[in-house]
Structure 1
Amino acid sequence: MKKMLAIFAALLFTSSVLGEETKAYTQYDTFRFTINNKDAKILTDNMRNHIKKYHLQGMLKTKIYNITYGANTNEFIWVMGPVSYAEFDSRADDKKHDDDWADNINPYIISYNQSEVWRSMDGLLINNIDEKASDSKRYITRYLTVNSDQDEKVVNYLLNQIKDTLNKIGKVKYWAVMGNQFIQGNLNGRHLMAISSMENWAELDDDWEFEKHFEALHGKGSYTAFRDNYGRVFKNQWQEVIEVNKEMSGM
């Protein structure tokens, strides 16, 4: 049980989701979509061509991710950016782009699901990936629903306790927490998203002894208090494993 709780906390994220700073913040424009599997080959080719034409650079740079584990398995995630709100206004009205989407992408998409803007939360980032290295191909994300009576300072305090402990353990390559920029209420509960890179599945067998390192930082018995506070602050949570779809992304 302790090992599961350690993994549970260590993987607390939450989309690359890796990116450089955009103005005073870093945020990504995302949406989810589902397709008919019989059209997967056609859409893969068309999406790759579309991204190569219109989404390779700057604020329009895009990657497609597969959800391989979790409640929404088999959905895809479009991740574009980093992009600021000011850059939303500066996007060109590109008829060729829109026509290409209408003719070659839209016919093969069954449904468009959550459309969201995720912004990195200040101070809640660990990035030990070499700048010259490519982004991780796989991430674990954790979505958190915050109870309506919780203070933002308390939420940030708990998340910073996790970050400090992960830093002490020293095994994290990339970890960040992002906030959903549009009010979600309890419609889907996706208030916060934490994201952690995962180079291989064997990492999940590694016991990081999170509780031991946590109490070394915060004092004996502090982990029990943390766990109790965590349960009061967050109403719900769930994980997904996402992987870069290299074919669709044109990589």
Structure 2
Amino acid sequence: MRKLLFTIFLLPLLVMSQESAEYVVFENDLLTPNPTQISQFEKGIAAHNKKYHNDGAHGVRVYWISNGPRTGSYMWVMGPFLWSSMDNGPAQKEGHDADWRDNVSPYLMPGSGFETSYWKFHANLSRFPKNFTIKNMAVNIWDLKRGKYKEATALAKKVHDVYAEKAPNETFGIYTNEFPSTKEGQDMAVISFFEKSAWLGEDHSIAKKYNEMNGAGSWDQFLKDWMEVTNGGVTEIWMYRPDLSGISGDVKAAARQ
């Protein structure tokens, strides 16, 4: 399984100007604390976010990863923001960098905190039909084959259209890596939002819904087509940590209309 340096994306929670030619992105950073200093790390990251990342484009949410080889690491997610807002980022606020250096970095494992990626949010492929509060996320990262970006997004649009027609209350977001690497294989992310863990064991019947809308056997063909454009993927469960975050988990879907 290819290494996932997810610093995504990861969530479309703020409305951006419809008149802007820019698009919405997220910055994600994977943070792995020293296992003997978790309490110090959490105290430092919580204070930092609540002081320097507590509103606007540079607001931050923190997630705890609960499965896979990165279990116990944290995902630090800033945004959504426009690229132009980076020219006036929180690093320019007095004391920001020093606070991170003195109160967060000392409690991280060597090399942690330097794995950063940026993800573009695709509103036309995503479904945010209602307001909700983030609690848990199933994060699926796909490695797209070279030259297959258009085919992959076209297939994702087919799934979007099925949910819009057959399951209008389903909530998910689709994102693509702004600076992908063939070595890392993290090109497209699909995030499903859920409240209770029982959701993971439910049959969401996408195959039945897809066949109803596109004809018998169409779901099997979709799976074949998807395997033709991807090299595989990975799934992680992220749990939102409001105590460590600078902003709440509230998603105002109505603002995106």
**TM-score, normalised to structure 1's length?**
0.86
Q: Do residues 158 (structure 1) and 155 (structure 2) align?
A: yes
- CA drift of 1:120 comes to 0.8
Written as runs of structure 1 = structure 2, the 5 A alignment for 1:158-197 is: 158-170=155-167, 172-185=169-182, 187-197=183-193
Contact 1:138-1:197 at 8 Å conserved across structures: yes
Contact 1:169-1:208 at 8 Å conserved across structures: no
Match of 2:121 in 1: 120
SS in structure 2 at match of 1:117: strand
Written as runs of structure 1 = structure 2, the 5 A alignment for 1:191-230 is: 191-230=187-226
Match of 1:139 in 2: 137
**1 or 2, which has the higher strand percentage?**
1
SS in structure 2 at match of 1:212: helix
- CA drift of 1:27 comes to 1.2
- CA drift of 1:211 comes to 1.4
- CA drift of 1:113 comes to 4.9
Match of 1:25 in 2: 23
Gaps of 5+ in 1: 1-13
Match of 2:80 in 1: 82
Match of 1:109 in 2: 108
Contact 2:163-2:170 at 8 Å conserved across structures: no
SS in structure 2 at match of 1:157: helix
Cα displacement string for residues 94-130 of structure 1 (whole angstroms, at most 9, x for unaligned residues): 3411111111111111122530111112411101232
SS in structure 2 at match of 1:36: coil
Cα displacement string for residues 173-200 of structure 1 (whole angstroms, at most 9, x for unaligned residues): 4201101001211x22111111010111
Contact 1:117-1:181 at 8 Å conserved across structures: yes
Alignment partners' CA distance in 1, 2:36 and 2:232: 35
Gaps of 5+ in 2: 1-7, 249-257
Match of 2:9 in 1: 15
Alignment partners' CA distance in 2, 1:70 and 1:193: 17
Alignment partners' CA distance in 2, 1:235 and 1:83: 30
Cα displacement string for residues 68-106 of structure 1 (whole angstroms, at most 9, x for unaligned residues): 113321111110111111111122623411111111111
- What letter is aligned with 2:47? N
Residues 177 and 115 (structure 1), Cα distance of their counterparts in 2 relative to 1, 3 Å cut:
same
Contact 1:16-1:63 at 8 Å conserved across structures: no
Residues 16 and 116 (structure 1), Cα distance of their counterparts in 2 relative to 1, 3 Å cut:
closer
Determine what percentage of the aligned residue pairs are the same residue: 22
Match of 1:96 in 2: 95
Residues 232 and 78 (structure 1), Cα distance of their counterparts in 2 relative to 1, 3 Å cut:
same
- CA drift of 1:136 comes to 1.5
- CA drift of 1:171 comes to 6.3
Written as runs of structure 1 = structure 2, the 5 A alignment for 1:240-251 is: 240-249=236-245
Match of 2:4 in 1: none
**1 or 2, which has the higher helix percentage?**
1
Contact 1:19-1:26 at 8 Å conserved across structures: no
Select between 154-163 and 90-99 the one with higher mean Cα deviation: 90-99
- CA drift of 1:46 comes to 1.4
SS in structure 2 at match of 1:21: coil
Contact 2:25-2:83 at 8 Å conserved across structures: no
Q: How many residues align?
A: 233
**TM-score, normalised to structure 2's length?**
0.84
Residues 237 and 212 (structure 1), Cα distance of their counterparts in 2 relative to 1, 3 Å cut:
same
- What letter is aligned with 2:50? K
